[in-house]
């Protein structure tokens, strides 16, 4: 399949399915607008995740220094 045929096939697929962008395009800014409520929900979710991370660190401040159980098990089998 030539590049021209490939481009035509992709364009036909996008037209027939109504797809406006590739999922991998999500890693860069889009032209779309996000509602204020969605932005607020995302900020709340990020804040909640940060609170959980801080609480975990306060509960066990040395956890980051210990190897994970998977690493420990593989080292013991040697």
24-78 tens-digit pLDDT: 655 556 567 778 998 899 999 999 999 998 898 888 888 777 777 665 555 555 5
Does residue 55 belong to any structural domain of this protein?
A: yes
Rounded to whole angstroms, how far apart are CA atoms 38 and 31? Answer: 16
pTM for the full model? 0.41
Does residue 45 belong to any structural domain of this protein?
A: yes
Looking at residue 25, what is its pLDDT?
54
Range of the domain at 40: 33-62
Q: Which residues contact 48 (CB under 8 A, 6 or more apart)?
A: none
Does residue 4 belong to any structural domain of this protein?
A: no
Rounded to whole angstroms, how far apart are CA atoms 42 and 32? Answer: 16
- Domain count along the chain: 1
**Locus of tokens 């509960």:** 59
């Amino acid at each position: 399949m030539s590049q021209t045929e490939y481009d035509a096939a992709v364009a036909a697929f996008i037209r027939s399915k109504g797809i406006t962008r590739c999922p991998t395009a999500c890693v860069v800014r889009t032209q779309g607008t996000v509602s204020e409520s969605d932005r607020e929900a995302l900020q709340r979710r990020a804040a909640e995740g940060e609170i959980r991370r801080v609480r975990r660190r306060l509960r066990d401040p040395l956890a980051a220094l210990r190897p994970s159980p998977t690493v420990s098990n593989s080292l013991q089998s040697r």
